[in-house]
């Protein structure tokens, strides 16, 4: 009977060792799969973040371009107003000079 008990214990130990090995293999597979999923998620998040950053940059660039265009238009309007005012003042200056140089009766 002791031989049967020893064989039974040995068989139980072999089964336990087999279960332990299978469990360790499964644990390694689960860990490897978790690392792979984490890496894929990290890559996806990086891609999404980079895309969002590009959107923000594009929006900022567009806003800046609009602001520059509005500023150019404002400067052009002010420049035209300044030119018109200068032209008017030039005409007044010419009339004033001509009026001083030429007497009212048309003689110099």
To which residue do tokens 């594009």 refer? 58
> What DSSP character marks residue 104?
T
Task: Look at residue 96 in the predicted model and tell me its pLDDT.
Answer: 83
- What DSSP letter does each residue of 14-55 carry, written as one string? HHHHHHHHHHHHHHHHHHHHHHHHHHHHHHHHHHHHHHHHHH
Helix then strand then coil, in percent of the chain rounded to 5, is 95, 0, 5
Q: Give buried/exposed letters for 27-57 (b at 16+ CB in 10 A, else e).
A: eeeeeeeeeeeeeeeeeeeeeeeeeeeeeee
Digit-coded pLDDT (tens) for 52-108? 999 999 999 999 999 999 999 999 999 999 999 998 998 888 888 887 777 666 555
Digit-coded pLDDT (tens) for 5-53? 888 889 999 999 999 999 999 999 999 999 999 999 999 999 999 999 9
């Amino acid at each position: 009977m002791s031989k049967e008990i020893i064989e039974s214990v040995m068989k139980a130990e072999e089964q336990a060792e087999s279960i332990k090995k299978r469990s360790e293999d499964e644990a390694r597979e689960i860990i490897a799969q978790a690392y792979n999923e984490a890496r894929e998620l990290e890559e996806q998040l990086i891609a999404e973040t980079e895309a969002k950053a590009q959107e923000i940059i594009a929006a900022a660039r567009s806003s800046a371009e609009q602001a520059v265009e509005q500023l150019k238009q404002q400067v052009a309007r002010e420049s035209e107003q300044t030119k018109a005012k200068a032209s008017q003042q030039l005409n007044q200056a010419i009339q004033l000079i001509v009026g001083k140089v030429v007497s009212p009766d048309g003689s110099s």
